[in-house]
Chains A and B, each alone.
Chain A
Amino acid sequence: MQKPATQKRLPAFFPLEACVLRLRALYESRGFKQISPPMFEDYSLYLDNKNFLGADWILTFTDPVGRLRAIKPDVTLSIAKSTVSGQLDCTEKLYYTDDVVRFSPGEGCRALPQIGLEWIGRDDPFSNLEVLDLALRSLALIGEESAVDVSHLGFSSGLLEDANIPPGLERELLAAIHDKSIHGVAALLDTNGIPSEDKERILTLAGLCGPFPSELGRAKTLVRGPKMERAFEELLTLADIVRPTAGQAVNLDFSVVSDLDYYNGLIFTGYINGIPGVVCGGGRYDNLMKKLGKRSGAIGFAIQLHRLESYFAKYSRQLDVLITYKNPCNWKTLLELVSDFNEQGLTVRCESEGADISGISYAKLINFPEGGSAQ
């Protein structure tokens, strides 16, 4: 029996759709299971973890039994919340394609599509390696030229703790480091009377940015104390094993920061040349799991699909073959011709002679029954 043409290759989906399918295939190939997180959660989940969201506005409503509910602004919190509290017997490897709903006064209410994955389980060095590897491969599937910035919150926070930086100042310093504002970091250190040796180390940390393996050499000079040593070892392991694909750069960059109440350990952001913001963001969030009363650790990332929309818009959705047929003609032969093209994996559209085909994009035009090519 003949196989349908669609089994021979992917038809001409919209490029973004095709990209999502490729990403799903990647995650499925590593044994990750697709899940559908709930659309609504109790508002208290987001209120209690507002800093994790990094969003000021949450859309809420009161349900028929009087509970204050929220339209989910984030997927990870829902997944973390629904994880069993005890130690997992086996790692949970989950992925999702879902919308989160965000509101801003400037843009109003927007549903933002995401695809992401979560690795939940025991503290296992392979989790960092596999998740970072999948992030790199995901970016390579999206664009020809990509970059990933890798950081480690244990390294940054270890250095700030070693310098006895109080929590309030720590938050301000991390914000300035995130902005790559060396002058801002220096001003904060001066204003707060931080000793010159600590100041120099913090300024070095803020300025560290370069190819992953080589920049680690500079980072090594900053290591002091068990927390930084452990973080450095983790980074060293990643640098030894993780390999970027062609057209991909992996940098060590401590300007990648996140809220220390939720995140810890490895953290990273990914970029595609031609897309002006962060495409992929992820990291370890063991602290969030602890906060939610879970014994498992977790790491994951999300890809902001809405940022890809304009990037893929440049690729037109072109047909391989457009056939214009006389009416009447030999219908049987026409259908066989269409099937032959499909068998070759080509997309075909038929229009009767005289139809307005000016809005149709195609690679090849065939007039049937003459069979003459018009291009």
Chain B
Amino acid sequence: MINVALPKGRLSDEVFALLEKSGYKGASLAKNSRSLILEDEENGIRYFLVKPSDVHVYVLHGAADIGVVGKDTLLEATPDVYELLDLRLGVCDMIVAGPQGFVDPGDSPLRVATKFPNIARKYYGEKGREIQLIALNGSIELAPLVGLSDVVVDIVQTGGTLKANNLAILETILPISARLIANIASYKFKAKEIERMKLALAGEVPG
């Protein structure tokens, strides 16, 4: 039996659909179920549905053997887990956004609002630009509009929210998508089951 932590919410439908295509009971199990634990007895899989930003925690501590998590979360939390596969789901970009036409004056620390302080710190650290980090938990786009920050570092899928708030993408930091991760010790003792699922998913990953 392997335990799989999956993100609740938007991404879970896509992940369950991919599992179903790969020969596992995915969408059919999740349909009309409100349970947080789902079991595919035939394939020896138990799914846990957890908050997307907690998936890596379940995997790191071995409560789940494998999980599906966004690359943004992996870069932010840097858990010591294996990143086995790019599932190419939930594709978006980590970007810097600010008011239309914003030019960094460079004469004082750049005020950066973000949910991803470690990613922002690393990005600007590599550029040698001093910043003042403003850590927020949501509605990041609001920060430059009300003068809380100069720019934001955030993930963007279509850019619709930015456009609606007169913000523009200033820089693209890196592409983001969902990844299949594994606990490093589980991989030693359940390698066959984990590799079987990885290969099955790899065969159905969107092109």
Residue numbers of A with Cβ under 8 A of B are 145, 147, 149, 179-181, 183-184, 249, 251, 255, 271-273, 275-278
Contacts and interface: CB of A to CB of B under 8 A. Distances in A.
A179 B83 contact: yes
Q: Which 3 A-B pairs have the closest CB atoms?
A: A276-B62, A147-B188, A180-B82
A206 to B, nearest CB: 12
A273 B185 CA distance: 7
Contacts of B186: 276
B185 A271 contact: yes
A249 B85 contact: no
Contacts of B189: 145, 147, 271, 273
Contacts of A276: 60-62, 183, 185-186
B80 A180 contact: no
A277 B82 CA distance: 12
Contacts of B89: none
Interface string B70-95: 00000000001111111000000000
A278 B84 contact: no
Contacts of B83: 179-181, 184
B184 interface: yes
A249 B183 contact: no
B61 A271 contact: no
A339 to B, nearest CB: 45
B86 A183 contact: yes
Given A145-B189, A147-B189, A273-B189, A278 B184 contact: yes
- Which of B61, B80, B83, B186 has the most CB atoms of chain A within a 10 A radius of its CB? B83
Given A181-B82, A183-B85, 8 more contacts: A145-B189, A149-B188, A179-B82, A179-B83, A271-B185, A273-B188, A276-B185, A278-B185
Interface string B29-60: 00000000000000000000000000000001
A277 B85 contact: no
A251 B185 CA distance: 13
A277 B188 contact: no
B60 A271 contact: no
Contacts of B182: 180
Contacts of B184: 271, 277-278
B188 A271 contact: yes
A302 B83 CA distance: 25
Interface string B174-207: 0000000011111111000000000000000000
A141 B48 CA distance: 33
Nearest to A277: B185
B123 to A, nearest CB: 15
- Which of A145, A180, A272, A278 has the most CB atoms of chain B within a 10 A radius of its CB? A180
Contact of B84 (A149, A180, A249, A271): A180
Nearest to B205: A183
Contacts of A249: 188
A277 B83 CA distance: 15
Given A276-B62, A276-B183, A181 B188 contact: no
A149 B188 CA distance: 9
Nearest to B74: A179
A275 B61 CA distance: 9
- Which of B85, B86, B185, B186 has the most CB atoms of chain A within a 10 A radius of its CB? B185
A147 B81 CA distance: 17
B30 to A, nearest CB: 26
A36 B58 CA distance: 37
Contacts of A181: 82-84
Nearest to A272: B185
Nearest to A278: B184
Contacts of A180: 82-84, 182, 187
A251 B184 CA distance: 14
B82 to A, nearest CB: 4
A151 to B, nearest CB: 14
A284 B186 CA distance: 26
Nearest to A251: B188
Nearest to A269: B184
25 contacts: A147-B189, A179-B81, A179-B82, A180-B82, A180-B187, A181-B82, A181-B83, A183-B85, A183-B86, A184-B86, A249-B188, A251-B188, A255-B82, A271-B185, A271-B189, A272-B185, A273-B185, A273-B189, A275-B185, A276-B61, A276-B62, A276-B185, A276-B186, A277-B62, A278-B185
Contacts of B80: 277-278
A183 B71 CA distance: 13
A278 B60 CA distance: 11
Contacts of A255: 82
A30 B189 CA distance: 30
- Which of A147, A149, A276 has the most CB atoms of chain B within a 10 A radius of its CB? A276
A271 B188 CA distance: 8
